[in-house]
Amino acid sequence: MAAALRPNGGRHPRFRMMPCPSDCFAQVDLSAAPIPMSDSPKPTSASSPLTHFDAQGQAHMVDVGGKPATRRVAVASGRIEMKPETLALIASGTAKKGDVLGIARIAGIMAAKKTSDLIPLCHPLALTRVAVEFDLESVTSSVRCVATVETVGPTGVEMEALAAVQVALLTIYDMCKAADRQMSMTDIRVQEKQGGKHDFRGLPA
């Protein structure tokens, strides 16, 4: 039985071809408004405390050329906790690798001098003094390190003092890890800062 033909040449009456407006294929100008990228840096406020970012949010080294050269001092401290037996090895000087505190002191001094090579945006500084001292504390079974760094210049030496403490403590770990792999470095902080716009003295370690 032949199928009845529908109107419009067999097409369903609900689906008719509509004429396209003359501008439906107009080209869109994408150059007028660039599409923002999700990873584009966000501008930072001029009053932002993060001085290592410029107004466009890009990292940069802070310009200290206009600041006066003054005597700068920073003191940092920290400690490494260990087993009592490990502390006894350090105190007696019988650790397998030799004089633990002597080597750690030299490592801390070297780290202070190399801070700008380790921390990307630190200024290279001519240090006038680096002192690294240790206290063996039997109550907490730990070695406390205090680093004092000085210079005469336009910027402070907190990072140099912190670097000295942390590398000195890392060296103690390296020298003693054969006896104690559970040593823990803690309480690393700036204790004192002098000579800049904002002097600072923290709590005792």
Mind telling me the catalytic residues?
174
CB atoms within 10 A of CB 1: 3
The residue written with tokens 């240090």 in the block is: 127
Give the whole-angstrom CA distance, residue 111 versus residue 13: 85
For residues 74 and 156, the answer to whether their CB atoms sit within 8 Å is yes
Give the whole-angstrom CA distance, residue 89 versus residue 130: 26
For residues 72 and 196, the answer to whether their CB atoms sit within 8 Å is yes
- Three-state DSSP class for residue 101: helix
Residue 98 DSSP label? S
Percentages of the chain per state (helix, strand, coil), in multiples of 5? 20, 25, 55
Beta strands in the chain (DSSP E): 70-81, 127-137, 142-153, 184-194, 200-201
Of 79, 150, 78, 152, which is closest to residue 113 (Cα–Cα)?
A: 150
